[in-house]
Every structure is written in structure tokens, then in C-alpha cells.
Amino acid sequence: MGHPIQRIPKTDADPRRRAADRAMLLERIAIGLAHEGKNPLHNMVLHLQLMAEKLAAPSVQGSPIEKHVAALRDGIGRVDHLLKAFGEFAAPEHLPADVGAAVSRAEQLLAYEARRAGVHVQHHGPPALLVRSDSRYLGDLVAHAFVACIEFTREGGHVDGVLEPRGAVAVLELRAEGGLGSREHALLHVEAARSLAPDAACELSVETPAAGGARLSLSFLHPR
């Protein structure tokens, strides 16, 4: 049997604690942003060089360059989406309370973190699902839940997420299984999620089975 972590009532949060919790996420995401943005940019530079060489040679004038153009477009698109996700995460106050978008954004921004930890992450569910929440806290809450699961199942584990509407409630369930795990580091993010849950109008439950891993469930009401 696991030991469920009970949801705590809403209290006036210490601003310094809230800033420290957010700094934990921003540090990780900033590192991932640099690594995720670097690869497509290097690829674009390579193809630009190849294009310049081919276009400069009269003997090959008119040769097809579609593959280079496609590679450039793909790389530019990836960087654009990554920077857009980072911008939304950094300044969420004007975003709709969309848990589907928050899940996709967290998975994208934490891709490097997951790879570095040797964890496979995937989720299923609608790309957009509006809920009754506060967008200032919703993204941080979802991201802390993802990082906690990654830490619970480091070195070869996997995190599976399912987002689905259930009547008047939208539920995000994250299951972390396998791997070695770092319970100490995971619990830092669990506590951050617990602190954020009341402000995000989320009912949060966390179970840590004796066999290892974790199960996190985040429930939100649909907007009326």
C-alpha cells in the first residue's frame, strides 16, 4: 500500500517560498531551452551553408534545393514553438486556464530534463481543455507534477499521462513507473505542487506505492 499525500487547505502563501518554487522550474526549463533550441539552429546553419555552396556553383544552377528548404522550415518551426512555449510559461497571466495546453507545454519544455534523466514521457488527451483555474498557477502546478514524476522514476523509467473530461471534472493522471528514482528530489516538487493546488483550484492527490514510482491525480472543474 502507498502513502497518499493529502490535499492541504488554501493558506496565504509565503511570497519567498512561491518565488523559490518557481525558480526550481525556471532553472530546469532554462537549461532545457538552451539545449532544445541549439540542435535545430545548428541544423539550419548547416543547410544554409550547403545551399550557399550549391547556389554559388554555376554548373549546378537550378539543382533542386527543396530538401534544404524543408529542413530550414522545420528547424525554424521547432525553435518558434519552443520559444513560444517558454514565453507562455514565463508570463501566463493572460493565458486561458487550459490544462490541455499546460500539459503539452510542460512536456515540450521538460523534454531535455526527461532525456537527461533517462525517462520516457508521453501523454494522451485533448490538446485543449478549459478548466476553472487560475492561469498564473496552473502551468507551474502541471510542470511541478511532471518533474516530480520524472524524479520518481529516473534512469530507465517512464511517465504516462492521461488527460480526460469526466462529467463536470477534468482529470490529469500521471503515472511514474520503473527506473531508480530520486524520492528526495521528487518530494520537493510534490510539495511545490501541493502549495500551488489550492490557488489553481485543483484537487491534488499523490500516491507513492511501496513498489516504487508514483501516481499523481489533478482534478479541475469545467468552466460554467
Question: What phi and psi, each to the nearest 5 degrees, are found at residue 163?
Answer: -115, 125
The average confidence (pLDDT) of the chain is: 86
Dihedral sign of CA atoms 197, 203, 208, 212 in order: negative
- Beta-bridged to residue 172, according to DSSP, are 163, 218
Range in 63-67, 97-101, 121-125, 166-170 with the lowest mean pLDDT: 63-67
Grid cell in block for residue 14: 509565503
Digit-coded pLDDT (tens) for 16-67: 788 888 888 887 887 788 778 878 878 888 887 787 777 666 655 555 676 7
Please state the φ and ψ torsions of residue 129, each to the nearest 5 degrees.
-155, 100
The single-letter DSSP state of residue 207 is: E
Q: pLDDT of 181-203, one tens digit each?
A: 888 999 999 999 999 999 999 99
Q: Give percent of the chain with pLDDT exceeding 70.
A: 89
**Where are any strands of DSSP class E within 101-197?**
120-124, 158-166, 169-177
Binning pLDDT at 50, 70 and 90, where does residue 8 land? very low
Asked if 174 and 206 touch (Cβ cutoff 8 Å), the reply is no
Cα–Cα dist 205/172, whole Å:
11
